[in-house]
Amino acid sequence: MSDRYTVLVVDDEKVIRDGCTLILQPEGYLVRTAANGREAIEILETEPVNVVLCDLKMPVMGAIEVLEEARERFAEVPIIIITGHGTVDDAVACMKKGAYDFVTKPFRIDHLTLCVRRALEKQLLERQARQLQEEQARNLYNLALEQSRLHTIVNCMADGVLVTNREMEVVLCNHTFTQLLGLNTPPPLPGPLSAYFDDAALKEAIQTLLAGGETGPNLCLTQEITRDRLHLRVMTAPFYGPDRETLGTVTVLHDITGFKELDRLKSDFVNLVSHELRSPLSSIIMQHKVILEGLAGDLTDKQREMLTRAHDKMQGLLDLINDLLDLAKIESGHRHLEQVPLDLGEVINEVAEFLRVKAEEQNISLEVSLPPELPRILADRRGIEEVFTNLLTNAIKYSPDGGAVRIAAVSHVDYVEAAVSDQGIGIEEDEIPKIFDKFYRVKHPKTRQVLGTGLGLAIVKNIIEAHRGSIKVESQLGKGTTFKVLLPAAAEVRSMSDARV
Ligand code: ADP
């Protein structure tokens, strides 16, 4: 046993005190002695004591009184009674008063040490039990606190929240959810999902997630649902137990009616303004062209220069209007996506031929590299033409005079990959995610003179994604850029039957 433990020996007979000390000290205990109960209480009051060995009968304050006083104030210290053979009954009475054990005089060494060790073990166990109890009480308190906090957070949220268990029963549903769905009296919890929300798409999403059909670290299925006059964005995610088993799902309803309305107003406004501007602008450009071609009489060099500059600016404005109209149509879903089997190679060749003149003006070589057999894609010809016109125009625009632009395509198992590469100014790494944003143009000293709207790549991305394809960019500043477009081969796009952009 370790010498960290202190044993207090209380006996009016010095020989017993010394005897106990002689036995216990070699065992590693720190031994304190007292000649009577009063002294013992004083020591207990001032020093840490682990076990008390206390004589039953002493002239000043015997074991019974020590026990009575200690029970209140030193309840965690076990007290062992030292007794003679004739007073065993009294010792038993002491045990009823709370003594841990008794040893009879004259005691055997091993019996005394065993008794002390057991008392210490008991004390240790009791302390551990007390700590566990305190910890449990603390945990229960924290849990209740957490629950109450969570309850308040969930109920204060402006978004609707619905939680299901793995049996698809609703176990939690906040105030906003019931309000959004017009449930005047929320059904009791737990309750079937259909009593709260009868949307088939949501039910399917929850079923998929509960079945573990979709996996991924940040898995969240997002849908948009229209209900009465409300547009709701519905996000559903599973939650897991400690062994990663799916225990249920959380669905959050976000009311996007206001955004949708704003979007519609914005699109209407853009459409209206653009239409009103496009016709007069086109006619001004036509008239400028006529004048520039000399059909309205001779021009001085100065007049030609000024008119050419005005013509370029006007053309830029018309491009912007056309892009805005295009994007507005795509975003509002009013542009129908044709699905015809398309020879991508043919489209690429046509676009490249159309832009060759522009490339030559800048002394840029334009190389087309296509394999003899390229699988067809199911796609909208005008949309795909627009994609490659934009990418090739950019490659030419952002290349220095005398550069080289290349467009190549290869076929993979179930998709076709087309890459447009240039040796132009390149794009900084942290700019790459932004270039597909509407109106975003990288600020670069070399592009200050390059005309553009910042809408081309937004249109490109929209069209590609509507074809269930994707676009990637690789670029090195000062070395060049490659845009890679992946489009599913015809067999892979059967399910596009009602896709729209
Ligand atoms: P813009 O009309 O400005 O060309 P885009 O949406 O087509 O608009 O492109 C967005 C921005 O991305 C451009 O302003 C340009 O900074 C950058 N960018 C696009 N293509 C290239 C390219 N091939 N090389 C370098 N930068 C490019």
pLDDT digits (tens, 9 = 90+) for 151-169: 899 999 999 999 999 999 9
What are the contacts of 430-433 at 24+ separation with CB within 8 A?
432/473, 432/475
Q: What is the distance in A from the centroid of ligand 1 to the CA of 435?
A: 7
pLDDT in tens, 448-458: 778 788 999 99
Per-residue pLDDT, 214: 53
Alpha helices in 243-256 (DSSP H): none
Per-residue pLDDT, 141: 96
Candidates 33, 29, 36; CA nearest to 3 is: 29
Q: 344-361 and 381-397 helices cross at what angle (nearest 10)?
A: 30
Give residue 191's identity as a one-letter amino acid code.
G
What are 439's two structure tokens? 């109106």
Q: Is the CB of 117 under 6 A from ligand 1?
A: no
The dihedral over CA atoms of 210, 213, 216, 218, expressed in degrees to the nearest 10, equals -40
Q: Is the CB of 398 under 6 A from ligand 1?
A: yes
What are 305's two structure tokens? 């220069």
Has residue 218 got a pLDDT over 60?
no
What are the contacts of 351-354 at 24+ separation with CB within 8 A?
351/385, 351/388, 351/389, 351/392, 352/392, 352/407, 354/389
Q: What is the CATH number of domain 336-500?
A: 3.30.565.10
Has residue 212 got a pLDDT over 80?
no
Give residue 210's pLDDT band: very low, low, confident or very high (50, 70, 90): confident
Q: Is the CB of 460 under 6 A from ligand 1?
A: no
Q: Is the CB of 447 under 6 A from ligand 1?
A: yes
Has residue 359 got a pLDDT over 90?
yes
Residue nearest to atom 23 of ligand 1 (CA): 395
pLDDT in tens, 291-340: 999 888 889 999 999 999 999 889 888 888 888 888 877 777 767 778 88
pLDDT in tens, 85-124: 667 788 788 888 889 998 988 888 899 999 999 999 998 9
Q: What is the distance in A from the centroid of ligand 1 to the CA of 452?
A: 8
Q: What is the distance in A from the centroid of ligand 1 to the CA of 284?
A: 28
Q: How far is CA 215 from CA 220, 239, 250, 299, in A?
A: 9, 12, 15, 69
CA distance 500 to 170: 35
Q: Is the CB of 453 under 6 A from ligand 1?
A: yes
CA distance 237 to 219: 6
Has residue 217 got a pLDDT over 60?
no
CA distance 1 to 119: 12
Give residue 240's pLDDT band: very low, low, confident or very high (50, 70, 90): confident
Domain boundaries, the chain: 6-131, 157-255, 263-332, 336-500
Q: Is the CB of 435 under 6 A from ligand 1?
A: yes
**How far out from the chain centre does Cα 285 lie?**
52
- Looking at 17-21, 70-74, 482-486, which range is the least confident one? 70-74
Give the residue carrying structure tokens 């006059």. 229
What are the contacts of 229-237 at 24+ separation with CB within 8 A?
229/257, 230/180, 230/255, 230/257, 231/255, 231/256, 231/257, 231/259, 231/260, 232/160, 232/180, 232/256, 232/257, 234/199, 234/201, 234/202, 234/205, 236/202, 236/205, 236/206, 236/209, 237/209
Q: What is the CATH number of domain 6-131?
A: 3.40.50.2300
Task: Could you please state the CATH topology (level 3) that the domain comprising 157-255 is classified under.
Answer: Beta-Lactamase (3.30.450)
Please provide residue 233's backbone torsions phi and psi, each rounded to the nearest 5 degrees.
-95, 125
Q: Is the CB of 165 under 6 A from ligand 1?
A: no
Per-residue pLDDT, 1: 44
Per-residue pLDDT, 202: 84
Has residue 216 got a pLDDT over 60?
no
Give residue 215's pLDDT band: very low, low, confident or very high (50, 70, 90): low
Q: Is the CB of 324 under 6 A from ligand 1?
A: no
CA distance 111 to 82: 12
Has residue 187 got a pLDDT over 50?
yes
Give residue 58's identity as a one-letter amino acid code.
M
Residue nearest to atom 14 of ligand 1 (CA): 441
